[in-house]
Amino acid sequence: MVVSSYRAAWIVAAMLFLTVLTQLIYVGAGEATAQGLGKALWRVEIVAYLVMALYALRLARQHPLAAAGLLVGGLLNVIQLGIGLHMFETLRQEGVPEAVFRAVLQLAFFLYFAGKFALGFTAAGLGSVLFRSGGGVTGWIGIAAMLAGVAAIGMTLLAMLGGESRFTFPAGAAGTAAALIAGIALPLAYRRGEHASGRSDESEAEA
């Protein structure tokens, strides 16, 4: 199956939008997430991140660093979601030391923040591409992507380096915003690459 880089960009963008939607539902549902909705959302996210990671490989030739962020972010999120889906409930059973559950929970959050960091990296890289190559609305989207990406990188770094309790919500919100703007920027970056070269695979620009 041959998929153009532009079509792959749209597929990845759709997966990013899906993860943003699930994050918003998860936060908005509150207590309902503990009644089974949370696990359903995690399963949807696992599929979305897997698809994102696979199609990110198709994007690597034109913007390799941005694609690397998508691949790494997707895989890290799959791992942390798998931990939550298959380990949390078992570790909450009677007889399991609370310290064990806390350690696994902290690992899952660390991987969550690392995944958001990678998506922030992608957003910043794509924003740089759009800012340099486009004016008007495209240029402003590039600026927004760079700002969102830098904010996600900064917040997630603070969370990973010992500030989890204080930066959990800011880091998650910044990472979600970066995913959203990266999804908007992706088709624009790859469409511009196709127009510039006539073929999506011939551009050697790096994000």
User: Dihedral (C-alpha) 140, 127, 80, 48: value to the nearest 10 degrees?
Assistant: 70
Handedness of CA 58, 61, 63, 66 (dihedral sign): positive
More confident residue, 95 or 86: 86
pLDDT at 2: 76
113-153 pLDDT, tens digit per residue, is 999 999 999 999 999 999 988 678 899 999 999 999 999 99
Task: Supply 20's token pair.
Answer: 């943003």
The C-alpha atoms of residue 197 and residue 5 are separated, in whole angstroms, by: 13
pTM: 0.87
Q: Which residues contact 128 (CB under 8 A, 6 or more apart)?
A: 142, 146, 207
Instruction: Give 202's pLDDT tier (boundaries 50, 70, 90).
Output: very low
Q: Is 202 left (phi over 0), alpha (psi -120 to 50) or beta?
A: alpha
The C-alpha atoms of residue 90 and residue 6 are separated, in whole angstroms, by: 43
The C-alpha atoms of residue 114 and residue 157 are separated, in whole angstroms, by: 8
31-88 pLDDT, tens digit per residue, is 666 567 888 999 999 999 999 999 999 999 999 999 999 999 999 999 999 999 999 8
The C-alpha atoms of residue 42 and residue 81 are separated, in whole angstroms, by: 6
Residue 97 to residues 101, 107, 108, 111, Cα–Cα distance (Å)? 7, 16, 17, 22
* Percent of the chain's residues with pLDDT above 90: 68
The C-alpha atoms of residue 92 and residue 200 are separated, in whole angstroms, by: 49
Residue listed under structure tokens 């830098």: 150
pLDDT at 41: 92
